[in-house]
Structure 1
Amino acid sequence: MSDPVPPASDDAVLTAERDGDVAVLTLTRPDRRNALNTDLCLAIRAAVDEAVGTGARAILVTGEGTAFCSGADLGGVYGDEFLDALYGMLHHLAKVPVPIVAAVNGPAIGAGTQLAMACDLRVADATAKFAVPTARNGMAVDAWTIRTLAELAGTGRARRLMLAGESLDCEEALLCGLADRAGTLEDALAWAHEIAALAPLALAHNKLVLNGSTADDAAIEQSFRDVWASEDVRESLTARDEKRRPVFRGV
């Protein structure tokens, strides 16, 4: 990877690097198995906005060490400040116009599963595990989490996770669609680079429609028209005539 962004202090909870057109965000609380606290939720949101603002064409999210994210840091979870930071970050990830890939390099429990679901695609390694154990800890997640889980994993498996407190391993997550591919961080990064070469405006439109609850009909219609009016459409036609790969610029 290139162009590392140095952490603000020794207590940094997230690192950000650029690998060409891909921004790589790594949760760096391995001593807490990358559990989310208020600072980390705010850092993820800020880093995603920074990546989009500086022209990243895809974003990769992963965790340092042997866990993707073990959930909410129970030392500081009880309070509106954390809940606002967590759900503000999760819902924001669904709205940004750039595809986000989660490299689930180990357990993604509770808020870790939520973070993986807020990403657009999930690559799970052999140690990945997904669970939302609110029935075991007496807590609650918002309706977006439960509905998104049901859309991705199917109603039956969502009921098992939410009502029976069960978990899904990598194999079952792949079978039901909660995970999209099996692979390592390197595999996820390679996929992110493939995605980064695709047409940015088309990707943004597709994400907007897929996450339709975040946009109104007028925004979707305008996005549709912007794609068809873009130079990328003409570039695609030219590339086909010239028998080469198109080079999309997002304009």
Structure 2
Amino acid sequence: MLGTTRDGSVSLIELRRPERRNALDLAQCRDLHEAAAAEVEAGARVIVITGEGTSFCSGADLTGVYGDEFLHALYGMLHSFTRLPVPLIAAVNGPAIGAGTQLALACDLRVADATAKFAVPTARNGMAVDAWTMRALAAVAGGGMARRLMLAAETIDREEALRCGLADRAGDLDAALAWAQEIATLAPLTLAHNKLVLNRLVATDQDPDIEASFAACWASDDVREAALARTEKRTPVFRGR
């Protein structure tokens, strides 16, 4: 149900349930969780997630989403993506509905093709999403758009998504992969620190994790490599240490 390929430091994870428009079931949530962690362990510096066929992800598979086991797997997967120390890019090809929009939100950046659509229509089916989803949506797309999606159950297309910030770039999978290759050349420790700070939706004055990642950047070989590269007039080669 998933396909995984690697090209250097970039890994591509593809949802492969086109007959269900890549709807998420229990097994797929667990597989996504495990696959993304495995790619980071294998050395991926950026992960791209997309869907096979004409849909990114049509939401939760409504044939069996009502149990606590599914909800635990879904939110465990989504929240784990926000904690991974590498950037994730959603290559949104077609509809990202409900859990599909949540999956795109759990990624750090979103590249949307011409057919991309976003919606969280819980008000149409009596379901609910967690507070993280709504806070993340408001942080990324703004409070007004979050209210339109959550309270009016609207669907927005790529152009609106680009205007409000829910989509970062227009483009297809190739464009997302090319962007991932560019990002993969940046300093890994810095990216991990920046992601950690950006994903802390509730800020505190003192956060030991953030303080530690900040210090690690300044103490790293990579910061010295960047200084040396400047003097040698070349592109730095970052090793994440």
| Range of TM-score over shorter length | over 0.9
- Matching residue's letter, 2:175: D
Does 2:209 match 1:219? Answer: yes
Q: Does structure 1 retain, via aligned residues, the 8 Å contact 2:91–2:176?
A: yes
- Matching residue's letter, 1:40: Q
The answer for the alignment partner of 1:8 in structure 2 is none
RMSD over aligned Cα, in angstroms? 1.1
Between the aligned partners of 1:171 and 1:237, the Cα distance in structure 2 is: 40
Q: Does structure 2 retain, via aligned residues, the 8 Å contact 1:36–1:111?
A: yes
**What pairs up with 1:1-251 in 2 under 5 angstroms?**
13-213=1-201, 217-251=207-241
Q: Does structure 2 retain, via aligned residues, the 8 Å contact 1:71–1:111?
A: yes
Q: Does structure 1 retain, via aligned residues, the 8 Å contact 2:135–2:201?
A: no
Once the two structures are superposed, residues 12-43 of structure 1 have per-residue CA deviations (whole angstroms, 9 ceiling, x without a partner) of x1111111110100000000000000100000
- Matching residue's letter, 1:93: F
Between the aligned partners of 1:205 and 1:92, the Cα distance in structure 2 is: 16
Between the aligned partners of 2:4 and 2:221, the Cα distance in structure 1 is: 31
Question: How far apart are 1:157 and its partner, in Å?
Answer: 1.1
Q: Does structure 1 retain, via aligned residues, the 8 Å contact 2:56–2:100?
A: yes
Q: Does structure 1 retain, via aligned residues, the 8 Å contact 2:122–2:128?
A: yes
Q: Which SS does the other structure have where 1:212 is aligned?
A: coil
Between the aligned partners of 2:165 and 2:76, the Cα distance in structure 1 is: 25
Once the two structures are superposed, residues 201-222 of structure 1 have per-residue CA deviations (whole angstroms, 9 ceiling, x without a partner) of 0000000000124897011001
> How many residues align structurally?
239
Q: Does structure 2 retain, via aligned residues, the 8 Å contact 1:123–1:184?
A: yes
Between the aligned partners of 2:147 and 2:197, the Cα distance in structure 1 is: 26
What percent of counterpart residues are identical?
69
Q: Which SS does the other structure have where 1:208 is aligned?
A: helix
Q: Does structure 2 retain, via aligned residues, the 8 Å contact 1:208–1:214?
A: no
Gaps of 5+ in 1: 1-12
Between the aligned partners of 2:151 and 2:114, the Cα distance in structure 1 is: 25
Between the aligned partners of 2:129 and 2:173, the Cα distance in structure 1 is: 28
Q: Does structure 2 retain, via aligned residues, the 8 Å contact 1:26–1:61?
A: yes
- Matching residue's letter, 1:118: A
- Matching residue's letter, 1:231: D
Gaps of 5+ in 2: none
Q: Which runs of 4+ in 1 moved over 3 A?
A: 213-216
Q: 1:116 to 1:220 in 2, by over 3 A?
A: same
Between the aligned partners of 1:81 and 1:91, the Cα distance in structure 2 is: 15
Between the aligned partners of 2:209 and 2:201, the Cα distance in structure 1 is: 12
